[in-house]
Amino acid sequence: MSISGMNGTGQRRPTMKEVAARAGVALKTVSRVVNEEPNVSPELTAKVQSAIKDLNYTPNESARMLRRGKTGTIAVVIRDIGDPFFASLGRAVELWARSSGSVVMIGLTDEDPERERDVCLEFVARRPDALIMAPIGETQEYLAPHVDAGMAVVTIDRPAHGIEADAVLADNAGGIDQAIDHLVRQGHRRIAYLGDDERIFTARERVVAYRAAMARHRIDVDEDLVHLSEPTTEGIGITLSAVLDRPEPATALLSANNMTTAEVLRGLAGRRDQVALVSFDDLALGDLLKPGLTAVAQSADVMARTAIQLMTERLPEPHRPGRTVRVPVKLTIRGSGEIPPAS
């Protein structure tokens, strides 16, 4: 006997045919009651429901959803569940799914385009109703046949390419503008920028915004103060040495994502009160640091709720044009970004 024919206790599941026999009705009548179809008398409905209770019958939910053209499954493909932003996103989607009777599958890309493709194709083979993803690859055209077949795709944090999809993006340029404006008001002009790999959409948008904001303040960008790389402990340590241990050191740091910020704080141990720091992305305990972390905060919950709204709107209209929603960000002032330049 196959595992699919067993219940959680190892016993065989009762069948719909057995329910029909117990109730003394036709199999079609049981099917109509289980699927909540009309045109079944209250008397027959009561008989079927009683037999279902007596036999402890549970409908095959997967088969029922497939008959309706839906699977009740949402696939979520993100960078790393260890990243606080994406962890919050995954939790928000899971809470929604729990309340709506859906199931969530979560896969991780580790910022690898090939891994993204493999995970997405593995998931879509299971026919989810929708896919929420944070793309890293140059194109998501490999999903086109599934989108054409009616699967809803919503991207978060980054847009998709090669398919019709909705996107929920942070106001990256606005956040960088707020950070630079704030540091300039504190008297800083030598502002180092520490960002992520430029393959990532947010990394590209933010470094472009940094250059534009500096130009707006008529500050020439010193390219030796611009560093774009994967945020590792060793790499950020080398970067901090390069921008701070020099004849004309940076007096302020703009860290462009939470993972980089965590490594910057580690590398600044012992001199956090000597250089200003503003982070794009907040940290969970940012308010408990000494000094507190000044950060451009983006809400993963708001972005997730927006993605879910776009997803539910797209499900009945899978072929409508894609929409992009920019979610506002907010500068939270706590102390680290208010340290003045050394005189």
**pLDDT tens string 99-122:** 777 889 999 998 899 999 999 999
Task: Tell which wins on pLDDT, 63 or 79.
Answer: 79
Q: Which two tokens stand for residue 115?
A: 């891994």
Q: What is the CATH number of domain 172-299?
A: 3.40.50.2300
pLDDT confidence bin for 12, thresholds 50/70/90: low
Q: Give residue-wise pLDDT tens across range 302-313.
A: 998 899 899 988
Q: Please state the pTM of the whole predicted model.
A: 0.76
Taking the C-alpha atoms of residue 292 and residue 272, their distance in angstroms, rounded to an integer, is: 10
Contact 193, 256 (CB under 8 A): yes
**Looking at domain 16-59, which CATH architecture does it have?**
Orthogonal Bundle (1.10)
Domains 16-59 and 68-170+300-327 equal at CATH topology level: no
Q: What fold is seen in the domain 68-170+300-327? A: Rossmann fold (3.40.50)
The DSSP result for 291-342, as a single string, is SBPEEEE--HHHHHHHHHHHHHHHTT-TTSPP-EEEEP-EEE--BGGGPPPP
- CA angle at 295 for the pair 290 and 299, rounded to the nearest 5°: 125
What are the structural domain ranges in the chain? 16-59, 68-170+300-327, 172-299
